[in-house]
A = this chain, B = another copy of it.
Amino acid sequence: MATNYKQPDHKLTLIPGPIEFSDSVLGAMATPSQAHTSPEFVKTFQSVLQNLRKVFKSTDSDAQGYVVAGSGTLGWDVAGANLIEKGDKVLVLSTGFFSDNFAEALKVYDAQVDVVTAPVGDVLPFDQIEQQLKKEKYTAVTITHVDTSTAVVSDVAKISEIVKKVSPETLIVVDGVCSIGSETIEFDKWGIDFALTASQKALGTPAGLSVFFASSRAVQKAVNKEKPAAFFASLKKWTPIMKAYESGSAAYFATPAIQTITALKVSLDEIVGRGVDSTISKHEEASTNFKNELEALGIKLVPVNRDVAAHGLTAAYFPEGVNGPDFLGKLASKGFVVAGGIHKELVGKYFRVGHMGFSIYEGHVDRLLAAIKETLKELK
């Protein structure tokens, strides 16, 4: 794998997911075939499900982690199909493109969705959230922990506290696709009911896995739901399967993505080996350094201040006088792939850099920074 990895035509992928993967993770992707019921795979999957509890910070044995072939998006369907009944009211706290798409997904499951939208690059004021929760009775509230379109991080702890105070029955649903593994999350302590992510971000594994975690009351609601609104995304189907694998035995509902789950095992071992808290601190440090350096170059960040700026990625405006496509093209020619912007109000005006997982331990971000400096000299 190391050989492949160093191929001269491999560009360092520093987008906000898929991220770069460690050689061990890539090696695990090439694990020879195993039966989904084999003792080897059962052991692998058991380790993954056990380690997810450490990553999500949950010790409640009635809460449950899930890993299903899919993408982060599938997690929205899981929430919609299992936690919502037709006509239920859901409050979506929107900080960008992905929050709005979550709202769209919930409407497919016949939720009545109220979307309250933060100004671009900012979060919603806490009192606005509190007022909204007092106005209506919501079955669930969704928080996009980090909206990958704006790189804004929401204060899930504080919002959860407000929900618990005003409307403790309301389920707290967290889209953690761009936060889990790079931002502090306390599933049990904050009283989260459902949090979803995907393999290709801070979990450090190739794309192809939908990863989520449900609280005891969310699991109960889902398994007792008379008619889940989806088959493949049914928690009623998946809960006994995950419980079986986690306890060390095989069960079948749909064939798991054996190689990608094996890679996730390796990556979670790396994360848990370093310590989850230490991993989060390292992301904060890498993020702060990178953002400081960009600002020192006169580059303005999309988040309105550092308190609302995420640590797994940076969204920043193209420097004045610099043409966006030229900037991205120059970086590509130097061997770095960073992402354009996708927020509808800002598209074409900004770029996004992912600094998650492997890359922050391997100096990739420093190398990118050097390339950005070079590029700016060349373009100005």
- Interface residues, chain A, CB within 8 Å of chain B? 1, 4-5, 7, 10-11, 13, 15, 17-21, 26-27, 29-36, 38, 69-74, 76-77, 80-81, 104-105, 108-109, 198, 200, 206-210, 227-234, 252-260, 337, 339, 342
Q: A198: which B residues are within 8 A, CB to CB?
A: 255
B228 x A108 contact (CB < 8 A): yes
Distance, CA A315 to CA B76, complexed state (A): 39
Q: Which residue of chain B lies nearest to A78 when distances are taken between CB atoms in the complex?
A: B232
Given A4-B30, A231-B80: A38 in contact with B337 (beta carbons within 8 A): yes
Known: A5-B32, A69-B257. 12 other contacts (CB 8 A): A18-B33, A21-B32, A26-B32, A29-B30, A38-B337, A71-B232, A77-B231, A105-B231, A200-B255, A207-B255, A207-B259, A230-B230
Q: A74: which of B35, B36, B104, B254 is its contact (CB, 8 Å)?
A: B254
Alpha-carbon distance A256/B339, docked complex (angstroms): 16
**Set B1, B13, B32, B109: member contacting A10, Cβ < 8 A:** B32
Contacts of A13 on B, CB cut-off 8 Å?
A: 32-35, 38
A291 to B256, CA, bound (A): 29
With a 10 A CB-CB cut-off, give which of A17, A207, A252 has the most chain B CB atoms. A207
Task: Please measure, in the bound complex, the distance between the C-alpha atom of A166 and the C-alpha atom of B5, giving whole angstroms.
Answer: 57
Which residues of B lie under 8 Å from residue A259 when comparing CB positions? 29, 206-208, 260
Q: Which residues of B contact A257 (CB under 8 A)?
A: 69, 71, 206-208, 257, 260
> Does the CB pair B18–A32 fall under 8 Å?
no
State in angstroms the CA–CA spacing of A34 and B11 once bound together. Answer: 8
Question: Could you list 13 A-B pairs, sorted by A, with CB under 8 Å?
Answer: A4-B31, A7-B32, A13-B34, A18-B33, A19-B33, A38-B337, A69-B208, A69-B209, A73-B255, A208-B259, A230-B233, A232-B233, A252-B342
Q: Which residues of B contact A4 (CB under 8 A)?
A: 27, 30-32
Chain B residues with CB under 8 A of A71:
69, 232, 254-257
Of the candidates B11, B231, B255, the one whose C-beta lies within 8 Å of that of A108 is B231
- Tell me, in angstroms, the Cα distance from A201 to B283 when the chains sit together: 40
| Distance A254 CA – B17 CA, assembled complex (angstroms) | 12
Give the complex CA separation of A253 and B17 in angstroms: 14
Contacts of A32 in B (CB 8 A): 1, 4-5, 7, 10, 13, 20-21, 26
